[in-house]
Amino acid sequence: MESFMKKYFMNKMDFSSKSPTIRPQKRTVFAIPLPIAPRNAMPRTRKINPAEAPAIQTAADHEEESASGKTRYAAPALDKGLDILELLSRSEQMLTLNQISRQLGRSVTEIFRMVVTLEQRGYLVADNDHYRLSLKLFELAHHHQPIRSLVSTALPHMRELANRAMQSTHLTVYEAGRVIVVAQVDSPERWAFGLKVGALVSLTDTASGHVLLAFRDEAERAGMLAAHVRMDGEQEIETAQLMRQIEDTRKRGHSRMESRQIRGVINLSYPVMGANNRMLAALNVPYIERIDKKVNPSLDEVQGIVQEVSARLSRLMGDSSFGS
C-alpha cells in the first residue's frame, strides 16, 4: 500500500531542485461560438418608473388594440361578471341561464361558472334555476363613506319627521340614470305606505327625480338625462314638458305632485344640499290621507315639516345657505 501511494504521488508531482509543485489535471473545455451582434444593435436599457408603465405599449400590443377596438388592459372575465350584474339590475324579473346568455349574446357555457361564482359570493340569489340580484351591492355602497355619513346623519331626523307627520319618509339619491332609496322610516300609524330601502324609481316621473334634477347645473343635468334608464311601467313625457316641470321645481324649491304610480298618494320632495351648494339627496314623503275620525297633520302641515327637516339636514351636511 505504501509503495502504491508513493507511485501515485510521484506521478502527480514534478520535482525540481526546490520544493515540489502540484499540477492539477488538465480538463477539456468546449467553447460554443456565439453570434456577434453589430455594434449598437442592442440598446442600453434603463429601469422603468412604475408610473410610466401604463403608457408603455409594444408595437404588437398597439396592433392588437387597433384591430380589436378594445383597450390593452381589458379583463374579459371581469367584463362578463359586470355584464351579468348590470343585466340583472335592469330586469324586473328573475332570469334563467338561457335568458341571461341570450340577452348578453354569450353561450351558456361561457357564463355558467361566472353565475355560479357570483351566487356563491352572495351577489346573486337563485330560485329554481332563476337568478336575481341580492342586496350585497347595495350593502357595499352603504360602506362608502359619503353615503354612510348621509344616512347616519339623516335617520334620527327622518324618525322625528315620521312621528310628527304620521307619515312614512324616505331618502333618495341619483345613481346611474335612476333614483335609489338609501334610507326609509315607516309611519308610526297602523297603516303605512313607503318605499323599501334599495328600491329603484324613475328619474323623470317622480317628485324625488325632479328634485334631484332641478338643483344641478345644466351640464350635470344633461348627463343625468342622457343616462336615464326607463323603469317598468314608466309613463312617457315630452322633453319640453319635463324641462318645464324641473324648472318649476327649482323655482319653488321643492316638488309636490300626485303620484304617477299609485292613486291617492301625493308626493312631497325637498332637496338635501351639502357643502358648496352641492346636491346630495331628496327627502320625500308619500302622503296618504286618513278619511276616518282620526285627525292627523294635513298635507300643508306635513309639507312644512318636510321643509324644516330638509333644511336642517342640509345645514348638518355642510350647506351654509340653503333653507336659511
The β-bridge relationship of strands 279-287 and 21-22 is unpaired
Q: Which residues make Cβ contacts (< 8 Å) with residue 215, sequence separation at least 6?
A: 250, 271, 273, 279
Cell of 280: 346630495
Cell of 158: 327622518
- Other C-beta atoms closer than 10 Å to the C-beta of 203 total 25
Q: Confirm if 323 and 278 have CB atoms less than 8 A apart.
A: no
Cell of 269: 320632495
First and final C-alpha spacing in the chain: 115
- Greatest CA span in the chain, whole angstroms? 135
> Which residue type, as a one-letter code, is found at position 95?
L
The β-bridge partners of 21 are: 14
How do the pLDDT tens digits run along the chain, 324 residues long? Answer: 555 555 555 555 544 444 444 455 555 544 545 555 454 444 444 444 545 444 434 444 444 444 445 566 778 888 888 999 888 888 878 899 999 999 999 998 889 999 999 988 888 988 888 998 876 776 666 555 566 788 889 999 999 999 999 999 999 999 888 899 999 999 999 887 888 888 888 999 999 999 999 999 888 999 999 988 888 778 888 889 999 999 999 999 999 999 988 899 999 999 999 888 889 999 999 999 988 888 899 999 999 999 999 999 999 988 766 544
**DSSP assignment letter at 127:** E
CA nearest 191: which of 294, 283, 107, 282? 294
The domains of the chain, with CATH numbers, are 76-134 (1.10.10.10), 139-316 (3.30.450.40)
Residue labelled with grid coordinates 312621528: 163
For 69-123, the DSSP string reads: -S-TT--HHHHHHHHHHHHHHH-SS-EEHHHHHHHHT--HHHHHHHHHHHHHTTS
Give the SS3 label for residue 142.
Answer: helix
Query: How far is CA 113 from each of CA 97, 107, 109, 116, 121, rounded to the nearest angstrom?
Result: 11, 12, 8, 5, 12
